[in-house]
Structure 1
């Protein structure tokens, strides 16, 4: 098949997939998760049920795909911060703030209910572990604990952002987390 034909088909598939994800989230938001069925999604998207099943086997798979799409978007943003260069301490602060704000904004969404399914938590830990190791190598944070443990600490501490009542509270939580990453004071 000609390259243009393949690109057109792939663009169409991507557009249909995005429409399925967007429509499902709109239906869940408007009517609640339990009222969303594959038939209803197909009807709202304007495709047949058989076509919908070619993309996803059930509503849960659609929710997981939407979660993956959001995580991918977040990781793109985080990678942009990381690849922007500059002070590792400032990069770490920005990354933690972005993550905490996402936790705060999406804590009561349907996406939050599938947040820890799949491999997204592992991707977040690996990304953060790498950033923490760079910050430790630069002498910005403590080195008495492995970056792997520090990454778990950060993600668990920032999960409290789901209960933060304001963006100011999220920022204070991020600052508290950063304080925990600081080098310990030398003993006396």
Structure 2
């Protein structure tokens, strides 16, 4: 098969996949995770159900792919923040607001336990640890980064943007605080 033909097929498949994931995002936003159906996603994406099933075996695999894309987008957002400012404070604030804007729901728990999400979390911890610098000498950077990620995840349960900012400030104070004696 000529290379041009392969590129065209790959481009088409990528476009269909993105359209399906965009449609999934719309349905999740409107109806929640339990409201997603293959028929609704296919209709919104402008593809037949048979085509949709060529890409995703069932609703669970569709939701997992959508969630994986969300996680990748969030990691990209953090990378761009770092590239723009080179300030860990800004990265941690962006992460806290991501958590605030995407609070977990009960059915979402299974999505957060996927192997890909666990790898993404480890990537996030490594990303933050690599950018912490020498803030403390009593706690290893990866441990500090894990503390930050866990603390800022609480932003998903706070009531306001002001509360998110306070949580970030408290986390940064702890991050830079004096070593316990």
Which TM-score band (shorter chain)?
A: 0.7 to 0.9
Question: What does 1:1-188 correspond to in 2, within 5 Å?
Answer: 1-84=1-84, 86=86, 91-107=87-103, 112-113=108-109, 114-136=111-133, 139=134, 141-184=135-178
Closer, same or farther in 2 for the Cα pair 1:123/1:26, shift >3 Å? closer
What SS does the corresponding residue of 1:119 show, helix, strand or coil?
A: helix
Q: CA RMSD in A?
A: 2.6
Distance 2:93 2:69 in 1: 20
Provide TM-score, normalisation by structure 2.
0.83
Closer, same or farther in 2 for the Cα pair 1:97/1:134, shift >3 Å? closer
What SS does the corresponding residue of 1:107 show, helix, strand or coil?
A: coil
Closer, same or farther in 2 for the Cα pair 1:6/1:110, shift >3 Å? farther
* Cα deviations by residue, 1:140-184 (Å, 9 ceiling, x for unpaired): x11211222212211111111011111111111011111111141
Closer, same or farther in 2 for the Cα pair 1:167/1:74, shift >3 Å? same
Provide TM-score, normalisation by structure 1.
0.81
Distance 1:31 1:186 in 2: 48
Closer, same or farther in 2 for the Cα pair 1:105/1:15, shift >3 Å? same
Distance 1:31 1:22 in 2: 14
What SS does the corresponding residue of 2:156 show, helix, strand or coil?
A: helix
* Cα deviations by residue, 1:42-74 (Å, 9 ceiling, x for unpaired): 233332322211111111111111111111112
Distance 1:111 1:17 in 2: 23
Post-superposition offset of 1:30: 2.8
The gaps in structure 1 that reach 5 residues or longer are none
Structure 1 contact 100–170 (Cα < 8 Å) conserved = yes
Q: Identify which range, 73-82 or 115-124, moves more after superposition.
A: 115-124
Would you say how many aligned residue pairs link Structure 1 and Structure 2? 180
Structure 2 contact 22–45 (Cα < 8 Å) conserved = no
